[in-house]
Amino acid sequence: MESKVENQNLSRILLEETFYVLTKKNCVFKVRLTKSGLCLIKESENYVKEQVIPIRDIIGCRCLRSKKQTKRCVCQSLPRSKSLEVVEESSLDLDDTDTSAYLYIYAYIFHNSKESSKRRERTIITLRFRSFDKYEDNNKEAQKWRTVIKKLIKGDHVSLSTISEFTINNKDREYRRLLVLCNPKSGAGRGKCIFQQKIVPILEEAEIPYDLHLTKHANFAREFVRTNNLYQWSGIVVVGGDGIVFEVINGIFERWDWSDIIKSIPVGIIPGGSGNGLARSIAYYYSEPYAPSPFLPSALAAVRSNYAPMDLVRVETTSQIMFSFLSVGWGLLSDIDIESERLRMLGGQRFTIWSLARLIGLRSYSGKVWYLSSEDPLNAPKEQLCTNDIGSNCDLPTEVNLETQTGRQRVDSWYSANSRKSAYFSATGTTYASTADSGAGDPAPGSKPRIYGPASQIPGLPAPLPPTWKCISGRFVMVHASYQSHLGEDCLFAPDARLNDEKIWLLIVHDGASRSQLLHFLLGLSTGAHATSKSQNGLVEFFPVNAFRIEPDMSESGYMTVDGELVTYGPIQAEVFPSLGRIMVP
């Protein structure tokens, strides 16, 4: 009963208008806006066809006017097809002869007809309001639509009675500013280019202002987050790899007000690194298509006010405490990660090449692995994450241009909306001035910043562990733990992992496996097959835990990594803190 009422509520028509395609005789579009989406109903002589664009696929809309044409024939009073350009109402370049108001609606429509062809397609719907003789009246109509669409995108309450009260204000812009921290050196050095070419246009379509800061050296992002007044931003978007996300998260935990920051300022990630484990995992959890546009799910996440809790793991070594969002590693995968740094210019390919090199010169390490088993069974997450099974029934072209009827004859109604500019710096100006906070989180010069955050619930590193902990002792090719599904774009480490499943997924590969078994295992990592494979003769173990400790034999040397970053080689332990972080999700 309740869901029936809810459905009725979602399908109630908030706005409706009839538009005409003048180039096609007798073709009429009824456009309806409901809480669930924008419905285009095409009515021609013989049929009626309905297409719905879900609100969650729409990222923004803008009201624009036509631009004065420089070379227009005196006898041609109206804009020609495809030559019409649009500008902001405040522009000095307005075409006063065209009294229409244009509403541009930007959508990234999800198509999921087949699993293999899941994709999002950018579509611009243009509604041309021209029922009135005066631009002001047409604009009033367009602005009303814009205001309602923007409110629906934000998830604000909209009812039929409140629509008439909306003040029509073209200045009604988004004041939520994002902080963008971009690592120009990440991956194959494409971070800046990715932001400029792929992300800026989407931020502009959604009218989200931002302040861009390029990282100048290692630990720049960490210091920036620790020392600036973060409350001026609504979120932090990182452009780069997992290394820069690690810096941002640990920068937050170096602030005395970490608990307020972590709750109020979510972090988003635009994949520009060579690993991109977190970005790939988020797309996986939300069934968002990743390749060939890996930036799209993250860009959509950044412009929507949609956040989700994420488990964080407190990691302790003999010299450091840190908060990790991705992984802790010892052995083969860490060796590959660290030693392939020299091939950084190859981007993600560096991992494949170095995997082969490490298999030839295979190493194993002696030590003990302690763990506290996860109490939760290995099944679906507690919180049902959003999937895109709603989909859309759209087969729209990438531009849809519609207009209201007018008594006056127009030359035509179709035009291109590709007048994008790729401004690089913030629309509202980039702020570089240091706005350091009270300094309470600043370390004394030369000393390490203090790490805050929740207190550990397990014994400190040197202390013995309680009997509830289990121990495996021996030689290992690797011990690797992850709390995300993907360690990298091509590495599906824990297929059942979710953002806040409260689990650390522990993979142990014992010494004794042949090279061909290990090759088989490494290949399985790209599809997640290793997680279910029974053919490893007990040499591979994979299970969820709440906490673990590794004690390597210190007579040998090797690498230990946290989120792909090198840490002190020696005893290390980790424990999960459920839903401690907040992350932007599509």
- Which residue's CB is nearer to ligand ATP, number 247 or number 502? 247
Contact 324, 246 (CB under 8 A): yes
Which residues lie closer than 8 Å to 239 by C-beta, 6 or more apart? 180, 181, 182, 183, 186, 191, 192, 194, 195, 199, 270, 272
Q: Roughly what angle, to the nearest 10 degrees, separates helices 515-525 and 349-360?
A: 160
Q: Roughly what angle, to the nearest 10 degrees, separates helices 277-285 and 242-252?
A: 90
The least CB distance from residue 467 to ligand ATP, in Å, is 38
Total residues belonging to the chain: 586
- Which residue's CB is nearer to ligand ATP, number 481 or number 545? 481
The least CB distance from residue 243 to ligand ATP, in Å, is 3
Residue 537 is given by DSSP the state T
The burial of 342, by beta-carbon neighbours within 10 Å (0-12 exposed, 13-18 middle, 19 or more buried), is given as exposed
The least CB distance from residue 219 to ligand ATP, in Å, is 6
Quote the CA–CA distance of 204 and 61 in Å, as a whole number.
10
The least CB distance from residue 552 to ligand ATP, in Å, is 23
- Which residue's CB is nearer to ligand ATP, number 219 or number 535? 219
**What Rg do the C-alpha atoms of the chain give, in angstroms?**
27
What the block records as the tokens of 526 is 């790209």
The least CB distance from residue 279 to ligand ATP, in Å, is 9
- Which residue's CB is nearer to ligand ATP, number 142 or number 491? 491
Residue 466 is given by DSSP the state P
Tell how far CA 308 is from the center of its chain.
11
- Which residue's CB is nearer to ligand ATP, number 275 or number 552? 275
Residue with tokens 């090449």: 353
- Which residue's CB is nearer to ligand ATP, number 80 or number 190? 190
Quote the CA–CA distance of 506 and 345 in Å, as a whole number.
31
**Residues in contact with ligand ATP by the rule CB under 6 A:** 183-187, 215-220, 240-244, 247, 273-276, 564
- Which residue's CB is nearer to ligand ATP, number 185 or number 480? 185
The least CB distance from residue 197 to ligand ATP, in Å, is 17
Residue 564 is given by DSSP the state T
The least CB distance from residue 436 to ligand ATP, in Å, is 20
- Which residue's CB is nearer to ligand ATP, number 281 or number 546? 281
Quote the CA–CA distance of 51 and 37 in Å, as a whole number.
10
Residue with tokens 């030839």: 360
- Output the residue with the shortest Cβ distance to ligand ATP: 241
Buried b (16+ CB within 10 A) or exposed e, 479-494: bbbbbbbbbbbbbbbb
The least CB distance from residue 499 to ligand ATP, in Å, is 18
| DSSP one-letter string for 353-371 | HHHHHHHHT---EEEEEEE
Q: How many CB atoms lie within 10 A of CB 191?
A: 26
The least CB distance from residue 362 to ligand ATP, in Å, is 23
- Which residue's CB is nearer to ligand ATP, number 184 or number 454? 184
- Which residue's CB is nearer to ligand ATP, number 346 or number 396? 346
The least CB distance from residue 272 to ligand ATP, in Å, is 6
Contact 283, 586 (CB under 8 A): yes
Residue with tokens 């009260």: 165
| DSSP one-letter string for 59-115 | EEEEEEEEBPPSS--TT--SPPTTT--EE-TT-TTB-TT---EEEEEEEEEEE-SSG
